[in-house]
Amino acid sequence: MPRIRPAHVDDLPAISAVCMAAFTAAVAPMLTAEGIATFGNVAAASAFAERLQGDNHILVAEQEGRVVGVVELKAGQHLAMLFVAPELQGQGIGRALLQAVLPQVRGPQMTVRASLNAVPAYEHYGFVLDGDVGEYHGLIYQPLVLAVPAAVAAPPGPH
């Protein structure tokens, strides 16, 4: 199993590459050019750099010196990114990343806006549907929510 650790600035190009590879393989074929461009902007190394300096918590899975997965928790409540290199999916890396970020959740639940093809994986992780399918600048998503046990979540307050 890969080592899970906090992301560093020098990881950003690899983080972006993992997200783009997984997105291109599984999500992009179902989207318009607008949705693909929107995701490209959000997953750019420069965009991750800005979020790394803010209130987002970003962890990577590293295997043999290579970043193979990423999870990003926004404002202690929203799962903004969870991607694993396409060739390594189905090996528990996504679950390990999700479990590693849970202690950073501030509050009783964590939300996600999942691409439609990822909904079964999130349901497998314990998320439940939380509203209707939505669209944001061409990205089609399903809102889901995960109840986070109090013993796992971070206490309220500044972090």
Q: What global pTM score does this model have? A: 0.92
Q: Is the pLDDT of residue 15 over 60?
A: yes
Mean pLDDT for 18-27 is 95
For residue 54, the model assigns a pLDDT of 87
The beta-strand segments (E) located in the chain are 3-6, 57-63, 66-74, 78-84, 109-114, 128-129, 134-136, 139-147
Q: How many angstroms separate the CA atoms of 151 and 117, rounded?
A: 31
Q: Which helix (H) or strand (E) holds 158?
A: none
What type of residue is 148? V
Q: What percent of the chain has pLDDT over 70?
A: 94
Torsion, CA 17, CA 142, CA 76, CA 71, rounded to 10: -20
CA distance 25 to 81: 16
Domains defined for the chain, CATH in brackets: 3-147 (3.40.630.30)
Task: Tell me the per-residue pLDDT of 61-91, one tens digit each, with 9 for 90 and over.
Answer: 999 999 999 999 999 999 999 999 999 999 9
